[in-house]
Structure 1
């Protein structure tokens, strides 16, 4: 019998101690926490007072007559929910102590105490694509039994699973891991969350198809390149960003040419490489967009490379640019009756998944000899005007177009007259030269045939002089 009374006494003491010990509440510094009041007290005229630590005056209170009142000199950002629960946001380090809730209904008083405990997740510096990442969710030791679940970021096109346990390790970080990772703690029928933001440094994928442009469709062309997520440049600099560049490899000679270099510092910008086209313009970078704008010309055909260089590795993306144009075998000014070939070209053979569509000033365009070539045996004034070549994808979407204005002219009469006179003068001069050459050669032949007169000097004494023999 005595033993039973001892057990009952110990049980009462244990229950009393449990009732007097503060209720465990987990929270993260900088986050938001809600401390629930005793909802068993449901009177409409209830007075609710929330006290911080050993303060004699409430930090915030609810009075049925005067409403919600804030305490004086309260540095904590506190508020009350519609159910008069205490809300703290953002949670400060000084808030991790005992909080007491007193509720008064008529002459009855109901009191409950709570204590805030830390749930912490270390701040993660930016992680470069392909590197490893390790995180651990830590809880202050309490009597509460808890379980931890890691919830990955929600990114489109990514299927990720939850991780259970306080620690998480990722070997090859990808863009799917970029965003907010949440450590969810379940304890004593309550939940708490701690979050950390992970920046995964990577470049967005290159366009699957080349960029097609022409002088007819645009004056400039944008060569795209961007970070895969919105990462502040200050974070990139802390991760060891050393520089970056844009380079160009033309289709003609396959020799890489530097175009821009990245200037890293308080101001991040693309600077034009010395010796480049004066039309190239540098620009300051303020967001994740790393693209450049170039003036359109035939010289832009080729492959462009966007690079970001860190201490450990270099991130790179390549973009191919194609330039469409229409060439005329006779130029843009053609005389009537002349034969002309019009060619729609990218500078090389057009891929099989592309097709060419012609538009011309005629009611019906001539049938192309090949898909990209139109042959006109004799041009007339009807061919005068704009000839347009459209480059289409296999799904029918127009990628770009190029145009050429043919100007058909009639050959003037004075031109033919000048041609005839010039031809006559040339023929006359040629005949005169031939006649002079013939006369001179005839005279030379006659001189060689003529015999020369001979003279001698006599040995016998005779009068001085020369005599004919």
Structure 2
């Protein structure tokens, strides 16, 4: 009898202790996520009581309150973030829903429920885990940042793990871990993305939190090449892609272009000379306006002599200036012969670059205009087809005996890293050879002589016609003279000027 009695007394003491100090449930949430603070009561006790009032508070400050008349009120800290489902009151569910949890939301929450003359309470302890960054916001590359994994849980974590884009980070010179703080000593664009920390406790609980790190810098790879190749006389664009730009960072960002002159001095190009691709625009001070991924391209309408060389694209953000270097290489084709090339002659074409250091291979090809079919030929539709001629590491193309088929457009292409990075064209004119001895006159001189001879003939014909018309006009004034001339085609005495001589001749003819 004593054992059951002692057991009963022990259970009674535990119940009284729990009533005085009930076990408070704990809820763990990550900053920025949503969380539910549970509060459930049995339906049987709520039956018949439809006017229910609920009040959620933290540290005696009201977070949310539903009065018996159905009016819902929220505290200043929970405006637009806290809600409760009134439709579930009759089922005994009074849980508090919090959206976009903040670190300040951590603490002990208490729910007071009144229905009729009955009162009930719920208590929930909310823990918030977060990652803080120093400095915060968008960071320029080459800088450093410290990420701290913080939790309101009073227990100490036995292990701390860090992940970047779900890949675990191993400590080295770039990543330094001190307790819950991770320091990245040299920021690059590759460090952009989600960083997550995990806290492991002795009881097996795992807490985690994430932070999205944004790094501002120059895009890597093909978007920002180190060399730009352009033919002399053509137009070109020097790209300058920035990655990680947001509307917030764009307001504090300034970009400029400059060119290194032959004497080594830097010349800043005015903003009016800068052209922005797409719908992007500059402010009056040259700052970026409301853009995400921006290409600050410098457009050169016609590459001329002296435009080649080193260019700098620089941006300033929070007092830090980062610069990207880009080299413009001008391309041209030089020929061993000038003017029209005689068929059968020897010719050399050289692909000249202002800076050939970045070129791995040269390739010569010829463009041929091919008509696709008869219908397209009638319409004049054709296309240019590139026919490879020679592939070598030599920049010079040698034609031992030029033929008429060699006439046309020749293209010199330069390659780097297994892709074509620049092209320059050369128009080759070929004149045919003659079977007989070569004339000392050029074709242009012969054409001029023919045209001149034709003009002289035309002038002589015009003079003859004019003289004949004048003679006809003069004879029309003396019809008898015309009859005499018809009878005597060869008179013995020619007429002399003067009226008397003309009259004597007429009298003689009449006799």
Work out the CA distance in 2 between the residues paired with 1:365 and 1:177.
44
Work out the CA distance in 2 between the residues paired with 1:214 and 1:3.
98
SS of structure 1 residue aligned to 2:18: helix
User: Counterpart in 1 of 2:165?
Assistant: 154
Work out the CA distance in 1 between the residues paired with 2:126 and 2:388.
82
State whether residues 355 and 393 of structure 1, in contact with CA within 8 Å, keep that contact through their aligned partners in structure 2.
Answer: no
Work out the CA distance in 1 between the residues paired with 2:101 and 2:390.
76
State whether residues 213 and 322 of structure 1, in contact with CA within 8 Å, keep that contact through their aligned partners in structure 2.
Answer: yes
User: Counterpart in 2 of 1:52?
Assistant: 56
- 2:183 is aligned, of 153, 162, 170, to 170
Task: Indicate the RMSD between aligned Cα atoms, in angstroms.
Answer: 5.4
User: Counterpart in 2 of 1:453?
Assistant: none
State whether residues 409 and 425 of structure 2, in contact with CA within 8 Å, keep that contact through their aligned partners in structure 1.
Answer: yes
Work out the CA distance in 1 between the residues paired with 2:389 and 2:151.
80
User: Counterpart in 1 of 2:445?
Assistant: 414
How many residue pairs get matched?
376
- Gapped runs of 5+ residues in structure 2? 283-287, 370-385, 433-441, 450-511
1:402 counterpart = 2:428: no
1:387 positional shift:
1.3
User: Counterpart in 2 of 1:133?
Assistant: 145
User: Counterpart in 2 of 1:287?
Assistant: 292
Work out the CA distance in 1 between the residues paired with 2:426 and 2:312.
32
User: Counterpart in 2 of 1:23?
Assistant: 25
Work out the CA distance in 2 between the residues paired with 1:325 and 1:39.
87
- Gapped runs of 5+ residues in structure 1? 61-69, 262-270, 273-278, 419-469
1:361 positional shift:
5.1
Task: Note closer, same or farther for the CA distance 1:40–1:184 as it changes in structure 2 (3 Å cut).
Answer: farther
1:394 positional shift:
6.2
User: Counterpart in 1 of 2:309?
Assistant: 302
The within-5 A match list for 1:274-353 is 280-281=274-275, 283-284=281-282, 285=288, 286-295=291-300, 297-298=303-304, 299-309=306-316, 313-331=320-338, 333-337=339-343, 340-349=347-356, 353=360
What does the per-residue CA deviation read over 1:290-328, in whole Å, with 9 as the maximum and x for residues that have no partner? 532322525443333222346765322223333333333
TM-score after normalising by structure 2 = 0.55
Task: Note closer, same or farther for the CA distance 1:116–1:373 as it changes in structure 2 (3 Å cut).
Answer: same
User: Counterpart in 1 of 2:256?
Assistant: 245
User: Counterpart in 2 of 1:72?
Assistant: 72
1:22 positional shift:
3.4
Work out the CA distance in 2 between the residues paired with 1:17 and 1:189.
29
1:129 positional shift:
3.7
User: Counterpart in 1 of 2:411?
Assistant: 388
What does the per-residue CA deviation read over 1:146-178, in whole Å, with 9 as the maximum and x for residues that have no partner? 6774544318xx862499887304151423543
1:358 positional shift:
2.4
TM-score after normalising by structure 1 = 0.58
State whether residues 230 and 330 of structure 2, in contact with CA within 8 Å, keep that contact through their aligned partners in structure 1.
Answer: yes
The within-5 A match list for 1:53-202 is 53=57, 72-73=72-73, 75=79, 76-78=81-83, 87-91=97-101, 98-100=109-111, 112-119=122-129, 121-122=131-132, 124=134, 125-126=136-137, 127-140=139-152, 149=160, 151-154=162-165, 160-161=169-170, 167-170=180-183, 172-175=185-188, 176-184=190-198, 193-202=208-217
1:32 positional shift:
1.7
1:289 positional shift:
2.5
